[in-house]
Amino acid sequence: MNVVPLVCLFLLTRSGTTSAAGHEVIIVEEDSDVILPCSLDSKENIVAALFDWKKVAQRDQGRKDVFLYDAGDHYNNGRDGQSPEFRGRVSHFPDQLNHGNASIIIRNTKVEDTGNYTCDFPRLQTPQTFSVELVVDPFLRDRSGERTGAAPEPYIRTLHEAKYWRLLQCEAHGNPRPEVEWQDRSGNKLPADKPEFSERGSIFYVNLNITVKETDLYRCVATQETLSHQIHAVIPVTISASSPGAAGNVVMVAVSVLITLLSQQTKI
């Protein structure tokens, strides 16, 4: 790999990097690729060296083996020992080893990748260890198949159907309690009735009604921010008859004028 492309990628990835008291923090969006930097100040050749990347033990999980390089032998060419969640997602920069660069790329980052990482050179004359913190910022998406308590697709029903309007109800449930809103085809939030809440066991239920008067595709959206989970259901609505609206007002005005004229003729 050429140095220039590597530098460009490095700068692009580190756009969310902060540093405080020697502690480096890299912030990236979920599903993106990130470079975790690790380079010797001496720039000495490490082609024949050993460096070992690990994820520090978290409160809910033990230490993870991220990437190990030992004089050309590493996890991507048959070496065993890499933690399953990092297999096929981590690589290094072979062309940069002669410059002392032991940085790695983690591809398709996951929220679970968030944590502290160490890059260790245990066999140097003076062993060195570098550390970096990675924060993977999640975005709202459907996580119903991967998060416990994530709300399934909401259920929409028509409670009442009239000539000029429909009364729709959306029911969503999950734990934590989902926030529910109605949207039009363009994703604009629509005014709706006050939501109704209930609880069955450890599951929270939300019912939200809305009265619609126009033909459109309506969406009920359920969101659980703490799970970075959002899911929706849609229902097409066709209002076959036009609402009286302006036409009704014209008729009312015409009747009012006619009554006034008749009243004046009676007086004459």
Q: What's the token pair of residue 139?
A: 């975005």
- Go through the chain and tell me how many residues it has: 268
User: How confident is the model at residue 60, as a pLDDT?
Assistant: 75
pTM as predicted: 0.68
User: How confident is the model at residue 127, as a pLDDT?
Assistant: 93
Q: Which domains does the chain have, with CATH numbers?
A: 3-137 (2.60.40.10), 155-237 (2.60.40.10)
User: How confident is the model at residue 12, as a pLDDT?
Assistant: 38
Q: What is the bridge-based pairing of β-strands 17-20 and 73-74?
A: unpaired
Binned at pLDDT 50, 70 and 90, residue 145 comes out as confident
* Residue 163 neighbours by CB distance under 10 Å: 10
Model confidence at 181: pLDDT above 60: yes
Average pLDDT, stretch 142-146? 91
User: How confident is the model at residue 246, as a pLDDT?
Assistant: 43
User: How confident is the model at residue 14, as a pLDDT?
Assistant: 39
Average pLDDT, stretch 91-102? 97
Q: What's the token pair of residue 161?
A: 């159907």
User: How confident is the model at residue 244, as a pLDDT?
Assistant: 58
Binned at pLDDT 50, 70 and 90, residue 259 comes out as very low
Q: Which amino acid is at 159?
A: L
Average pLDDT, stretch 161-165? 93
Which residue's structure tokens are 């460096």? Answer: 51
Which residues, other chains included, contact 180 with Cβ-Cβ below 8 Å and sequence gap of 6+?
154, 170, 172, 195, 206, 208, 220, 221, 222, 223
pLDDT in tens, 230-251: 999 999 999 986 655 544 444 4
Q: What is the CA radius of gyration of the chain?
A: 31
